[in-house]
Amino acid sequence: MLRYLPYLLALALVIYAFIDCLSTPDEEVRGLPKGIWLLVILLFPLAWFLMGRRRYIPAVTSAYDEAWIPPDDNPEFLKSLGEAELRRRRQDTDEAP
């Protein structure tokens, strides 16, 4: 059984690359048309992962890189405080006898 493992892994790689190519939108396929890539995958499945699909390299950013506005300078936060204060005052006047 162990001697069949490399063949099963190669078959799994071909199937995965084939399905990945089919499910990839046409505008994200590099180099060749999708139909040609499907033929190439049957012979060289690693070519799809190395050259066929567009790679997404995440930008090295974090939440701290964006302009963070402190709450006392954030107009949205200050507006929400004002609205909350108005709601509280309305509730107080509605409950008063």
Q: What is the pLDDT of residue 56?
A: 67
The token pair at 23 is 């499910």
What pLDDT was estimated at residue 69? 74
Is 63 within a domain? no
pLDDT one-digit tens code per residue, 55-75: 666 555 555 556 677 777 788
Q: Which domain holds residue 30?
A: 2-52
What is the reported pLDDT for 58?
Answer: 59
Residue 2, burial from CB neighbour count under 10 angstroms (0-12, 13-18, 19+): exposed
Q: Which residue has the higher pLDDT, 62 or 2?
A: 2
Q: 40: which residues sit within 8 A by CB, 6+ positions away?
A: 32, 47, 48, 52
Judge whether residue 7 has pLDDT over 90.
yes
Looking at the fold, whether 47 and 74 belong to one and the same domain comes out as no
Q: Are residues 7 and 46 in the same domain?
A: yes
Query: What is the rounded CA–CA span in Å between residue 24 and residue 20?
Result: 6
Cα three-residue angle 27-31-58, rounded to 5 degrees: 60
Question: What is the reported pTM?
Answer: 0.54
